[in-house]
Amino acid sequence: MIQDAGAKTTPTHIVREEPLLFERSRPGRRAYVLPALDVPETPLEDLIDERWQRQDNLAGLPELSEVDVVRHFTRLSSWNYGVDAGLYPLGSCTMKYNPKINELVARLEGFTEHHPYTPEDLSQGSLEVLKQLEELLCEITGMAAGTLQPAAGAHGELTGMMIIRAWHEARGDPRRKVLVPDSAHGTNPASAALCGYEVVTVKSNERGLTDLDALRRATDEHVAALMLTNPNTLGLFEENILEIAAIIHEVGGLVYMDGANMNALLGITRPGDMGVDLLHLNIHKTFSTPHGGGGPGAGPLMVTEKLEPFLPLPRIVRGDDGSCHLDFNRPQSIGRVRAFYGHVGVLIRGLAYILSNGAEGLRAIAEAAVLNANYLARRLRDVYEITYDGPCLHEVVFSSRRQEKYGVKNVDIAKRLIDYGFHPPTMSFPLIVHGALMVEPTESVDREELDAFVTAMKEIDREAREHPEVLKTAPHLTHIGRLDEVAAARKPVLRWRPTPSEGRASEGK
């Protein structure tokens, strides 16, 4: 099916499986056999009242041998694609490799066995780790303080919006508008709206940057804040950030930066030096822990000194002797936004990542991430349109416009990439690029893999011109072919259910 031997991998180990083979249960099969009793048997009724005794497999659970179970799950795991398998260029998700040392550190018993209700004086280890992380994030971002409570990036945004509201209210000047450029991440307007603000969209200019004239026109004394994704979702740095911040500050508004794309800026520049008043970070993008898999994340919110009193409570504060305490006495705080300390496991991974890379390592990460994205842009720009072309930062957004002449859409290109052994890029986002294919290679990919990706993308372009039907029906080499995405969204089958008529289980119906 795949005609190019130059593509990274041809996953020949994957063959379509008959659906029936999914079901391997056979009545009476067991995972273990216990030896005959060598002590007197206690009758079951003496142990459990008859009413509560389970009858023979009423729940319809699958009956399998141990080897059946191991092979079933091992087989399923090989049907997935993950960051440990290869390039995962899902733009805006920073799907970088996560060093295993972070896992090891996060799983230390002292952390995993630490109950969140443990009194403060017996929690010094965990509190110290969290405080250290906050202090390092302050240093990295140039901000004065932060909270680690938010459970994800969007949660950090909402926390930021609540602080903005509390700050304006405390000054007796509640405001109603939040400005959001059209190149912002989609969660930005959603967070502002959720907090009760009227969202005003600001247009980008022809280079994909915030249009300063449009910004000036939209800015007045009703503006509570500007929410600026920087670098924006086109992978472009808002080079007029100082002027942008001045325009907003002039009317008494605050500048919120969506710092989830901080991977591109680490060690190079700091939001605190650009006039930013508050920002969130995505630990699960920039500081290890894979994003996009649906697992837990962490979206710390960092603020300047004037906003510190509004941070969620409790704050972890250091005493004169260096020990850490939980401070609940904060009358201006917006209150708690998450139970206990937030997602501590993710935060520990983040700290391990920062400490193991050090300041120079963090800068090298940003440089490599930017270099890799620009390498792909340079090698593919003759084949795929780049609507907003120019030096990008951590990601590059291609368009499928040229391939559409042959009836091929961005989704077909993305699905065909799976056959070539790559995870698809983010599709149809940002909305300001027609047929967007948003590619973020990250720093943890080598030159050979970037070249293999380029080869695959060029082959797919050739196929679009010569055999477009191959793309329109891709993927061809996975267990499950092209999905009916509407049905998958409207009638999702999310779990296995037993089929009572057969007395055993079958794949979800």
Residues in touch with ligand PLP (CB under 6 A): 92-93, 152-154, 185, 187, 229, 258, 260-261, 282, 291, 297, 299
Q: Give counts: helices (H), strands (E), the chain.
A: 16, 14
2 near 477, Cβ under 8 Å? Answer: yes
Q: Is the CB of 164 or the CB of 460 nearer to ligand PLP? A: 164
Residue nearest ligand PLP (C-beta atom):
153
Q: Is the CB of 272 or the CB of 297 nearer to ligand PLP? A: 297
Q: Is the CB of 153 or the CB of 181 nearer to ligand PLP? A: 153
Q: Is the CB of 286 or the CB of 304 nearer to ligand PLP? A: 286
| Closest CB 346 distance from ligand PLP, rounded Å | 10
Q: Is the CB of 256 or the CB of 453 nearer to ligand PLP? A: 256
Q: Which residues contact 355 (CB under 8 A, 6 or more apart)?
A: 136
468 near 405, Cβ under 8 Å? Answer: no
Q: Measured between alpha carbons, how far is 202 from 220 in angstroms, rounded to an integer?
A: 13
| Closest CB 293 distance from ligand PLP, rounded Å | 11
Q: Measured between alpha carbons, how far is 460 from 9 in angstroms, rounded to an integer?
A: 14
| Closest CB 321 distance from ligand PLP, rounded Å | 36
Q: Measured between alpha carbons, how far is residue 411 from residues 408, 415, 426 in Å?
A: 8, 6, 10
| Closest CB 191 distance from ligand PLP, rounded Å | 9
| Closest CB 349 distance from ligand PLP, rounded Å | 15
Q: Measured between alpha carbons, how far is 241 from 228 in angstroms, rounded to an integer?
A: 9
Q: Is the CB of 25 or the CB of 92 nearer to ligand PLP? A: 92
| Closest CB 77 distance from ligand PLP, rounded Å | 24
Q: Is the CB of 180 or the CB of 324 nearer to ligand PLP? A: 180
Q: Measured between alpha carbons, how far is 89 from 75 in angstroms, rounded to an integer?
A: 24
Cβ count within 10 A of residue 225: 26
176 near 197, Cβ under 8 Å? Answer: yes
User: What DSSP string describes 173-239?
Assistant: ----EEEEETTS-THHHHHHHHTTPEEEEE-B-TTSSB-HHHHHHH-STTEEEEEEESS-TTS---T
SS3 167: helix
Q: Which residues contact 502 (CB under 8 A, 6 or more apart)?
A: none
User: What DSSP string describes 41-60?
Assistant: PPPHHHHS-GGG---TTTT-
Bond preceding residue 314 cis, omega within 30 of 0? yes
Residue with tokens 């004065």: 144
Q: Is the CB of 102 or the CB of 282 nearer to ligand PLP? A: 282
| Closest CB 258 distance from ligand PLP, rounded Å | 5
Q: Is the CB of 183 or the CB of 372 nearer to ligand PLP? A: 183
Q: Is the CB of 258 or the CB of 412 nearer to ligand PLP? A: 258
Q: Which residues contact 82 (CB under 8 A, 6 or more apart)?
A: 88, 290, 293
SS3 413: helix
Q: Is the CB of 91 or the CB of 272 nearer to ligand PLP? A: 91
**C-alpha angle 274-278-280 in degrees, rounded to nearest 5:** 110
Q: Which residues contact 129 (CB under 8 A, 6 or more apart)?
A: 111, 347, 348, 351
| Closest CB 157 distance from ligand PLP, rounded Å | 7
Q: Is the dihedral of CA 240, 141, 364, 7 positive or negative?
A: negative
| Closest CB 106 distance from ligand PLP, rounded Å | 18
| Closest CB 345 distance from ligand PLP, rounded Å | 15
| Closest CB 184 distance from ligand PLP, rounded Å | 8
Q: Is the CB of 93 or the CB of 244 nearer to ligand PLP? A: 93
| Closest CB 154 distance from ligand PLP, rounded Å | 3
Q: Measured between alpha carbons, how far is residue 355 from residues 127, 277, 347 in Å?
A: 17, 26, 12
Q: Which residues contact 46 (CB under 8 A, 6 or more apart)?
A: none
